[in-house]
Amino acid sequence: MSSQKKIPLRKCVATGEMFPKKEMIRIVRSKEGEVSVDLTGKKSGRGAYVSKTKQAVEIAKKRKSLDNQLEAKIPESIFDELLTVIEREQLK
């Protein structure tokens, strides 16, 4: 048995690629139908993951893949927030 922990993978709703959970951004829809960017990955509700790239966010926006995945209308502000988070990450 190998002693290294299994890395949890998640599928990007935009590109369909699998990435380690830490390299993704989670968007969550609460029971009340409120959509938010979940940077902790711990909020309760239905979650969907997007890769930390501008292209992935653009694809998700264009194809409405987040809307479909979360069964909710995704506000423009969520996409803006995603892009801000990605830009901040790239500056590190």
Structure tokens at 10: 């998640």
pTM of the model: 0.89
Instruction: Give the whole-number percent of the chain exceeding pLDDT 90.
Output: 88
Look at the block and give the residue holding tokens 């997007």: 50
Of the candidate ranges 3-12, 31-40, 49-58, 71-80, the one whose mean pLDDT is the lowest: 3-12
Q: Give pLDDT, residue 4.
A: 75
Q: Give pLDDT, residue 7.
A: 87
- Going along the chain, which residue ranges are E strands? 9-11, 18-20, 24-29, 35-38, 46-51
Q: Could you read off the pLDDT of 16-57 as tens digits, one per residue?
A: 999 999 999 999 999 999 999 999 999 999 999 999 999 999
Report yes or no: 28 and 49 within 8 Å, Cβ to Cβ.
no
Return phi, psi of residue 58, to 5°: -60, -45
Domains and CATH numbers, the chain: 9-91 (3.30.1230.10)
